[in-house]
Amino acid sequence: MIKQYLTNTKILSLAFLRNKETVFYVLVLPLLFMLIFGSLYSNGEGQQQARVLLYFEETAAVDRTEIEEVINANQSMSYQHIDSLEVGEQLLRDYEAEILLRVSETELEFSFNPARIQDNPALEQQSRAIARELDMRYYGLEEYLQTEIIDAGDHAGTSQFLSLFPGLIALGLASSGLFVIVELFIYYREKGVLKRMAASPLNRNSFTFALISSRMPASLLSTALILLASRFIFNVSFTINWFLFIPYILIGTVIMMGLGALITLFTTTSDSGFQAASILLTVMIFFSGIYFPIEFLPSYFQQVSRFLPLTYLARGLQQIMGVSPLNPASLAVETGGLFILSIVLIYAVSQKSSWVAE
């Protein structure tokens, strides 16, 4: 039985990895999204300098050099003087600059391009920092009340950017695991593959287990690629709890298979099954908060994420990778609960499904 399981797992793993679509969806696509969204979100982290346009009215109360010094002190900014507001606004519209600062006799007016939806919160923060710094330097104001920003949890940092990587790993697990149960119990049955095997003394549970195991190398490979790429492209490293991490990858893949088993219970053809899985994957991409912050969605939409396994997987990976504080109790409950439910669903489908189509 062990030999049967090992032989089948090896051959099925190779078959899976040889499939071009597997390679694309499980390995290439998460990397592609990492490049795109990682670059977008890393810009919001101030990794690229914000270009400030300086327009001084004739009656400007503040000296140019003062403002230039403040901006220079902030290494995430650069400046350029302009002769008119119209020119400055056009440069903003053309995405040639991020902030337009008009200095008049009585005010500092910061202008932004509303189309920079992702960047504007950080830009406004930087603008306020300029204003505060000017207060201190120029007017010699006392900072009676100082502020210190403390990030809750161990990790001092952010944000949508760092959360992206655990989310992408979770996505790789979803691509690897979501379709396999539909493939086994509907597609292979339709094609007659299962029928041929049913004519042998093959232990069906052993084969199901081998097929499930065969997806793990792809999950691990996808994970390894994302970690390597994040290190070399974005110079990001994580404090990974390896003791939990590897099992979590395997458990996460099974959880996604459980979701696939749920689909199988409600679909009768492989085409419907695969399509339903694709739709579910798309829903999870949008509503799990991996690519887009869902906290800006209306609350009834945000509730959808509570029902998506990908949300919990991404959250669990964030904890295990040190992006957010590790909460062993909630991790155990959420992951354990989903894992058990997945096993039950997979078992239910395997018992219900015939290998021989009537």
Partner 1 sequence: MSSSTDRAIQIEGLMKSYGSLKAVDRISFYVKKGQIFTLLGPNGAGKTTTVEILEGLKEADAGRIEFFGRKVDRIAGKEKEDIGVLLQKNSYIEKVKVKEMIKMFSSFYKKSLPVHEILEKVALKDKENSYVENLSGGQQQRLSIGLALINDPKILYLDEPTTGLDPQARRNLWDLIEALKSDGKTIFLTTHYMDEAEKLSDYVYIMDQGRIIADGTPEELIDNLGQENVIDFARNGLEDPEFSRLKELYPRIKSNPEEISVYVQDLSTALPDLINWAETADFKLDNLKIRRPNLEDVFLELTGKGLRD
Partner 2 sequence: MLAIKNIFLKHLRKQLRDRYSIFWNLAFPLVLLTILALIFGGQTGQDISFDISIVMPETSQEISASDFAYAGIIDEVINNIEGSEDSRWFQFYQQKSDQSAEEFFSQEKNLLEAGDRHLILKIPEGSLPDPGLIAIYRRPGSQLSNIAADVMTGIISEINREINIAEGNVSRDQLLTTTSRQIDITAANGAERSFSVTEYLVPGIILFTFLISGVEILVGRISSMRSRGILKRYFATPLKPIQYFAGILSFIIVLSAVQVLLIYSWSSFIFDISLNIFNLNFILYMIFALIVSVSLGFMVLSLVKSRESVGVVTNALTYPMAFLSGIFFEVSGLTGILGLIVALNPMTYLVNGMRDMLGIYPSPTSELLNLAVPLIWMAGSIAISLMKFSWNPGGES
Q: Which is nearer to partner 2, 209 or 286 (CB)?
A: 286
> Which of partner 2, partner 1, none does residue 201 bind (CB under 5 to 8 Å by kind)?
partner 1
How far is it, in rounded angstroms, from Cα 165 to Cα 323?
A: 9
Q: Minimum CB separation from partner 1 for residue 1, in Å?
A: 10
User: Which residues form the interface with partner 1 (CB under 8 A)?
Assistant: 3-4, 7-8, 11-12, 14-16, 18-19, 188, 191-193, 195-203, 356, 358
Instruction: Output the six-digit token pair for 200.
Output: 């042998």
Decide if residue 198 touches partner 2 (CB under 8 A): no
Q: Minimum CB separation from partner 1 for residue 32, in Å?
A: 23
Burial class (CB in 10 A: 0-12, 13-18, 19+), 104: middle
> Which of partner 1, partner 2, none does residue 329 bind (CB under 5 to 8 Å by kind)?
none
> Which of partner 1, partner 2, none does residue 200 bind (CB under 5 to 8 Å by kind)?
partner 1
Q: How many CA atoms lie within 13 A of 352 on its CB side?
A: 16
Decide if residue 267 touches partner 2 (CB under 8 A): no
Decide if residue 282 touches partner 2 (CB under 8 A): yes
Q: Which is nearer to partner 2, 8 or 324 (CB)?
A: 324
Q: Which is nearer to partner 1, 194 or 229 (CB)?
A: 194
How far is it, in rounded angstroms, from Cα 226 to Cα 34?
A: 8
How far is it, in rounded angstroms, from Cα 323 to Cα 309?
A: 19
Residues 155-174 binding partner 2 (CB under 8 A) are 155-160, 162-163
Burial class (CB in 10 A: 0-12, 13-18, 19+), 224: middle
How far is it, in rounded angstroms, from Cα 65 to Cα 70?
A: 9
Q: Minimum CB separation from partner 2 for residue 333, in Å?
A: 13
Instruction: Output the six-digit token pair for 354.
Output: 């015939």
> Which of partner 1, partner 2, none does residue 246 bind (CB under 5 to 8 Å by kind)?
none
- End-to-end CA gap in the chain: 29
Q: Which is nearer to partner 2, 19 or 354 (CB)?
A: 19
293 close to 160: Cβ distance less than 8 angstroms = yes
> Which of partner 1, partner 2, none does residue 18 bind (CB under 5 to 8 Å by kind)?
partner 1
Q: How many CA atoms lie within 13 A of 7 on its CB side?
A: 5
Q: Backbone phi, then psi, for 22, in 5-degree steps? A: -60, -50
Q: Which of 14, 15, 35, 340 binds partner 2 (CB under 8 A)?
A: 35
> Which of partner 1, partner 2, none does residue 2 bind (CB under 5 to 8 Å by kind)?
none
Stretch of 71-79, 100-108, 176-184, 205-213 lying at the interface with partner 2 (CB under 8 A): 100-108
How far is it, in rounded angstroms, from Cα 99 to Cα 34?
A: 27
Decide if residue 324 touches partner 2 (CB under 8 A): yes
How far is it, in rounded angstroms, from Cα 253 to Cα 234?
A: 26
Q: Which is nearer to partner 2, 109 or 354 (CB)?
A: 109
295 close to 318: Cβ distance less than 8 angstroms = no
> Which of partner 2, partner 1, none does residue 109 bind (CB under 5 to 8 Å by kind)?
partner 2
